[in-house]
Amino acid sequence: MPSRQWADGYALRGRNGKTIIGASGTAISKSLRGTVTWNPANLAAQTCSSTSITVTGAVSGADCGMSQPNPSGGASVIYGCQASTDVCSITALQWDRPAFSPSDRAPNSCRVFNP
C-alpha cells in the first residue's frame, strides 16, 4: 500500500503487510471484531461483571476497544476490555450506585487490533 501524507502531518502507510498510522505509530497487522448480547446482573457498588467474546485470531496483549450500541446505566458504570488469545473479555464496573443493572441487551462488540 502506498504511503499517504495529510497536511496535518499524519500518515497512513503499509509496511510488511501491516497498516501504520502516524509517522512512527504502532503497526496493526489485523483488526478483528466479535459481538455478544450481554445483560449484566445487578451490580452492587464497586463490583464488576465480565463476559468473554470469541475473537478468533486475537493475540494476547493486543489493544482493544469495546462498544455498546444502546448503552444504559449512566455515568457510574465504566466499561473496559482486554484481549487474550482468541478472546476479548469485556467488563462492567458499577462505581457508586446501589444495586443496579446496566441492562445492555443490544449487542456489545469488541474490536481487537493485533500488533
Question: Domains in the chain, start-ordered, CATH in brackets?
Answer: 29-114 (2.60.40)
Give the DSSP letter of residue 40. Answer: P
Distance of CA 74 to CAs 30, 40, 82, 101, Å? 33, 14, 22, 11
At residue 80, the 3 state secondary structure works out as: strand
Tens of pLDDT, residue by residue over 46-98, are: 888 899 999 999 999 999 998 875 555 555 777 889 999 999 999 888 777 76
The CA distance from 104 to 54, in Å, is 19
Residue 9 has pLDDT above 70, yes or no: no
Strand partners, 87: 54, 84
The CA distance from 75 to 26, in Å, is 31
Q: What is the pLDDT of residue 40?
A: 75
